[in-house]
Structure 1
Amino acid sequence: MPAAPNLVSDVRCVWRAGATLGEGVCWSSREQALYWVDILDCTLNRCDAQGRGRASWRFEDTISAVAERRDRPGLAVTLRRGLALFDPESGSLQRLHEPEPERSGNRFNDGKCDAQGRFWGGSMDFDCEAPTGAWYRFDPQGQGTRAADVLWAVTNGPTWSLDGRTMYTNDTLRREVVAWDFDPDSGAIAQPRVWLRFDPHDGYPDGMTTDAQGRLWIAHWGAACVSCHDPGTGAELLRVQLPTSHITNVSFGGAGMSTLFITSARFGLRTAQLAVEPLAGALFAVETDARGLPANTFAG
Structure 2
Amino acid sequence: MKLTPSLAHFVWLCTPLQGATPADWQSQIRGVSRKGQIPQETCLNTNPSSSAPSILEAPRCIWPAAATLGEGTLWSQREQALYWVDILERRLHRIDPASDMRTSWSFDEEISAVAERAGDPGLIVTLRRGFALFDPAAAEVPPRYLLEPEPERTANRFNDGKCDAKGRFWGGTMDFACKAPTGALYRFDPDGRCSRHDDGFAVTNGPTWSADGRTMYFNDTVRGRVFAYDFDMATGTPSGKREWLRFAHGDGLPDGMTTDAAGRLWIAHWGGACVSCHDPVSAAELCRVKLPTRHITNCAFGGPDLRTLFISSATSDLTPAQREAEPEAGGLFAVRTDATGLPAPRFGG
Tell me the TM-score range normalised by the shorter chain: over 0.9
Q: Is the 8 A contact 1:24 1:64 kept in 2?
A: yes
SS of 2:181's equivalent in the other structure is: coil
Once the 2 structures are TM-superposed, how far is the Cα of residue 293 of structure 1 from its aligned partner? 0.4
Once the 2 structures are TM-superposed, how far is the Cα of residue 207 of structure 1 from its aligned partner? 0.2
Aligned runs of 1:193-232 on 2, under 5 Å?
A: 193-232=242-281
SS of 1:173's equivalent in the other structure is: coil
Which of 39, 48, 58 aligns to 2:96? It is 48
Once the 2 structures are TM-superposed, how far is the Cα of residue 183 of structure 1 from its aligned partner? 1.1
Structure 2 residue 193 is the aligned partner of structure 1 residue 143: yes
Amino acid at match of 1:155: T
Structure 2 residue 211 is the aligned partner of structure 1 residue 162: yes
Cα 1:51/1:199, change in 2 over 3 Å: farther
Alignment partner, residue 122 of structure 1: 172
Amino acid at match of 1:70: A
Q: Is the 8 A contact 1:98 1:144 kept in 2?
A: no
CA separation in 1, counterparts of 2:191 and 2:63? Answer: 35
CA separation in 2, counterparts of 1:72 and 1:167? Answer: 27
Alignment partner, residue 323 of structure 2: 274
SS of 2:233's equivalent in the other structure is: coil
Divergent runs of 4+, >3 A: none
Structure 2 residue 53 is the aligned partner of structure 1 residue 5: yes
Q: Which moved more, 1:107-116 or 1:192-201?
A: 192-201
Q: Deviations over 1:32-55 (max 9, x none)?
A: 000000000000000012571100
Which of 88, 106, 110 aligns to 2:136? It is 88
Amino acid at match of 1:162: A
CA separation in 1, counterparts of 2:280 and 2:170? Answer: 21
Once the 2 structures are TM-superposed, how far is the Cα of residue 202 of structure 1 from its aligned partner? 1.1
Once the 2 structures are TM-superposed, how far is the Cα of residue 193 of structure 1 from its aligned partner? 0.6
Q: Is the 8 A contact 1:14 1:50 kept in 2?
A: no
Once the 2 structures are TM-superposed, how far is the Cα of residue 6 of structure 1 from its aligned partner? 0.4
CA separation in 2, counterparts of 1:216 and 1:287? Answer: 16
Structure 2 residue 260 is the aligned partner of structure 1 residue 190: no
Q: Is the 8 A contact 1:108 1:123 kept in 2?
A: yes
SS of 1:174's equivalent in the other structure is: coil
CA separation in 1, counterparts of 2:192 and 2:296? Answer: 30
Amino acid at match of 2:316: F
TM-score (norm 2): 0.84
Amino acid at match of 2:304: A
Alignment partner, residue 12 of structure 2: none
Amino acid at match of 2:209: W
CA separation in 1, counterparts of 2:192 and 2:169? Answer: 8
Structure 2 residue 121 is the aligned partner of structure 1 residue 73: yes
Amino acid at match of 2:346: T
TM-score (norm 1): 0.98
Amino acid at match of 1:145: S
> Percentage identity across aligned positions?
64
Once the 2 structures are TM-superposed, how far is the Cα of residue 281 of structure 1 from its aligned partner? 0.3
Structure 2 residue 81 is the aligned partner of structure 1 residue 28: no
TM-align CA RMSD = 0.9
Which of 233, 256, 271 aligns to 2:305? It is 256
Amino acid at match of 1:107: R
CA separation in 2, counterparts of 1:57 and 1:51? Answer: 19
Once the 2 structures are TM-superposed, how far is the Cα of residue 201 of structure 1 from its aligned partner? 1.7
SS of 2:151's equivalent in the other structure is: coil
Q: Is the 8 A contact 1:110 1:156 kept in 2?
A: yes
Q: Is the 8 A contact 1:96 1:143 kept in 2?
A: no
Alignment partner, residue 340 of structure 2: 291
Q: Deviations over 1:77-132 (max 9, x none)?
A: 00001101100001132110100000000000000000000000000001111110
Once the 2 structures are TM-superposed, how far is the Cα of residue 142 of structure 1 from its aligned partner? 3.2
Once the 2 structures are TM-superposed, how far is the Cα of residue 2 of structure 1 from its aligned partner? 2.0
Q: Is the 8 A contact 1:45 1:55 kept in 2?
A: yes
Amino acid at match of 1:56: S
Kindly tell me the number of residue pairs found equivalent between the two proteins: 299
Q: Deviations over 1:57-81 (max 9, x none)?
A: 0011000001000111110100001
Q: Is the 8 A contact 1:148 1:189 kept in 2?
A: no
CA separation in 1, counterparts of 2:214 and 2:339? Answer: 22
Aligned runs of 1:235-250 on 2, under 5 Å?
A: 235-250=284-299
Looking at CA atoms only, which structure, 1 or 2, has the larger radius of gyration?
Answer: 2
Q: Which moved more, 1:28-37 or 1:186-195?
A: 186-195
Q: Is the 8 A contact 1:32 1:254 kept in 2?
A: yes
Q: Which moved more, 1:42-51 or 1:208-217?
A: 42-51
Cα 1:286/1:258, change in 2 over 3 Å: same
CA separation in 2, counterparts of 1:270 and 1:144? Answer: 40
**Structure 1: gaps (5+ residues):** none
